[in-house]
Structure 1
């Protein structure tokens, strides 16, 4: 299959999202599509998959000009789009999801036996180990993604679009996904791979199209380019070294967690955090990294353990107790737990800062606007004004709103759980600079991250969690990916 998209335009009112984009792909290609949030990648793919109609331009499939103005047309051509937010039916069984809207019938009745058998054969052909009669809500995110890819192959997929496919997967699930992609490539399936993870782009793709501000600015051979060139083309400038030079001089111990235990999640965790330090927390997904910090912050209960802050034993039963002790927590799921997407930047910043903006029990509008405007400026949040809805912001700017919201409490400890997940490279660098600036002022940061280069570049020390236990500690000067993964998989140094 060969697909060409020529001079594609798309606007939403006065917002010109695509301004003459060119893109092409052939069977067997893994073609990376990269660009900052808001560059137009998803809109372009929504047009190719029939979700949106283009305003101008042409789409040519196997030398024929075709109008893909409905999803059924794309489906019949063999084009399938696996979205970042998976679209399935959790309360139905796996095989019911696979055959949704294309059920096999025996006369007037559904042929359940035939659908189960065909689903099993489909999974076997793709080496997918999922029970067709399992309820979808019981599957992991990785298994649900495999199910969606299998569903696409039910219709003899020729072009598969994958949008940030690894953002919520474990390392083992990522490995299985890449193996499946390799099998599809051998079967001459073309794949468009959208990701902010440069290491994946360079290990998987053979071509890279770079988008910026609604335009396609470069088509590159992966073997003939490098990360710095791709990033510079994405952001329109040279951002220098991707990770800032951080030379922290951590002070005395500010926090101790002693024998921290929560049944079924983690046991006897002993952690120390120093003033002005970036403390990395690593481990495979499900190891207990996030659960430890959620219990420390009072979001989830613990069974036992002590918290010593600035030399004093304290009790944290809920987030209000944590906030009173100037502890902030930027959660991994910013859209559900960190923001109210339908509310403005001003309203989101106000949520936990009523003390700063109240007068006699009522919100002082001027104080609220002054606080929000100052934080918008300080954190370089790119938006028209403080009344912009947070749901309309890019992922990086949403993350900056979350951090800004917490910064207003003047925290002494900031917990960051996957702070750059789903954030483009330009915004990542800005967040890294922000973390560096905060620690220079004496703020202590706990950084939970699955991105090993990020963890290694920013952290002063790294604790590694394995199956709910503290497996080891690595100092910055001794740390590398091999040591972290050795501990994360249960080994010892």
Structure 2
């Protein structure tokens, strides 16, 4: 990590109307450096990255490339200067193929004809650097979320960037995919590329960063070498307070079984799965990626065709019917808030009331807008949703606040059972703490919660009991003091497969 900065922000501020989100921020990237940018959701990280990447202009202050002042009129100009931003929100044309996305706007041609074979070969080469075996001819809409992220990263690698800005690149990646990406970052650093890396996974920051800058409420509150900057110290710098107990105390569940699933099969994903959920219980679902956890929960909630028996509060519910399941008192909070959970182009109020729309309908046809606004004001206060104003769209919220809105929307229907899939994916440590408190409060109030999570500390910290899946089947379960990473992983890898004991 030597030399003068390749890219620098000097006293950058940014306003959206009357709301200021960045205040005189300085930031710089040097050749061969990984500079981590961390902060809570809404701290201004994404805004700063978009300014550096040419997607937004600063309201005051400016940018420098190689010490020379620049003003990017668009991201195309930034990319021409070697500055490439990999978005947290996928910037892919979903109906197009991987190859078409990879070369969109910069297609390789021979005369008037596209060099499709050459572009496909280059796609495969770039994806191979990330150990990703996606077929370049597949449409992006047919890819999994982690595969789409790998395509975004490969697309950026193909542009020979001098500066690579990575916005939460591992939020949807498996542990193995994350390791591959971090190894690639090491190679890029060795080649002299400057990398801005932002992640809520502070362990990754500690592992990969040379320097760390912390933003809080739009202000730069720290910039220091990563060596000796512990994860705990990073978290406290982000939130500006002591974070001693991340997980709240667990409530004691009752004996009443409120959900019983028997022999549920989701074709191609889960087979003959059975489990029970008690009143006031937080039940964790763990397993390796591809084990079928999400698909099983979508089957339970009625969003996938399934066979088997589902009893909700003692009442048999027809499979494959999400409305019947919801009316019985069970709701599902999806892992994919951007595509399946929220309508990003619609106002906050319309997103909030979507599941409980009947409660806001007057005369069977007219929506009571005043009641919607009042409900939103209550939700913003109760769930601490940081919104610039109540008329903004859901897409204008930060990731953590979108997740809080999704939770508020799901709970507005007052369900007795809540399935939450990846509750804290892509949110910061402060928002995680709040979401964990929401889950604990639900259990304490007698609600029952299923938490599906890829983060073992999250499952262990929240759950009274953990069901573990392996290759589409329930491999076993652990409870109480027996819950540990080693016990869960043995079951998840099929090393200790056994029939679970009835709850």
Q: Same fold (TM over 0.5)?
A: yes
User: What TM-score do the two structures reach when normalised by structure 2?
Assistant: 0.88
Residues of 2 paired with 1:60 and 1:78: CA distance? Answer: 13
The residue number in structure 1 matching 2:430 is 426
* Alignment partner of 1:413 is 2:452: no
Q: Give the number of equivalent residue pairs.
A: 492
Q: Which moved more, 1:363-372 or 1:373-382?
A: 363-372
Residues of 2 paired with 1:311 and 1:426: CA distance? Answer: 38
Residues of 2 paired with 1:313 and 1:114: CA distance? Answer: 56
The residue number in structure 2 matching 1:43 is 47
Q: Deviations over 1:126-168 (max 9, x none)?
A: 7665555555555544444444444434443222111111222
1:61-460 superposed matches below 5 A? 61-107=65-111, 109-116=113-120, 129=133, 131-132=135-136, 136-137=140-141, 139-303=143-307, 305-358=308-361, 360-361=363-364, 368=372, 370-383=374-387, 387-460=391-464
How many angstroms does 1:371 deviate by? 4.5
Residues of 2 paired with 1:392 and 1:120: CA distance? Answer: 35
**Secondary structure of 2:227's partner?**
helix
Q: Which moved more, 1:418-427 or 1:444-453?
A: 418-427
User: What TM-score do the two structures reach when normalised by structure 1?
Assistant: 0.89
Q: Cα gap change, 1:346/1:140 in structure 2, threshold over 3 Å: closer, same or farther?
A: closer
Q: Cα gap change, 1:114/1:243 in structure 2, threshold over 3 Å: closer, same or farther?
A: same
Q: Which moved more, 1:344-353 or 1:424-433?
A: 344-353
Q: Deviations over 1:387-435 (max 9, x none)?
A: 5543333333333333233333332211111121222222221111111
Residues of 2 paired with 1:416 and 1:118: CA distance? Answer: 39
How many angstroms does 1:179 deviate by? 2.4
CA contact (8 A) 1:171 1:284 kept: no
RMSD: 2.9
CA contact (8 A) 1:356 1:367 kept: no
Residues of 2 paired with 1:118 and 1:198: CA distance? Answer: 33
What stretches of structure 2 of length at least 5 have no aligned partner?
498-503
How many angstroms does 1:469 deviate by? 0.6
Q: Which moved more, 1:276-285 or 1:200-209?
A: 200-209
Q: Cα gap change, 1:284/1:242 in structure 2, threshold over 3 Å: closer, same or farther?
A: same
CA contact (8 A) 2:313 2:328 kept: no
CA contact (8 A) 1:211 1:218 kept: yes
CA contact (8 A) 2:404 2:435 kept: yes
1:2-21 superposed matches below 5 A? 2-21=6-25
Q: Cα gap change, 1:481/1:181 in structure 2, threshold over 3 Å: closer, same or farther?
A: farther
Q: Deviations over 1:225-276 (max 9, x none)?
A: 2223222222233343222232434433222101111221211101111111
How many angstroms does 1:20 deviate by? 0.6
How many angstroms does 1:46 deviate by? 1.5
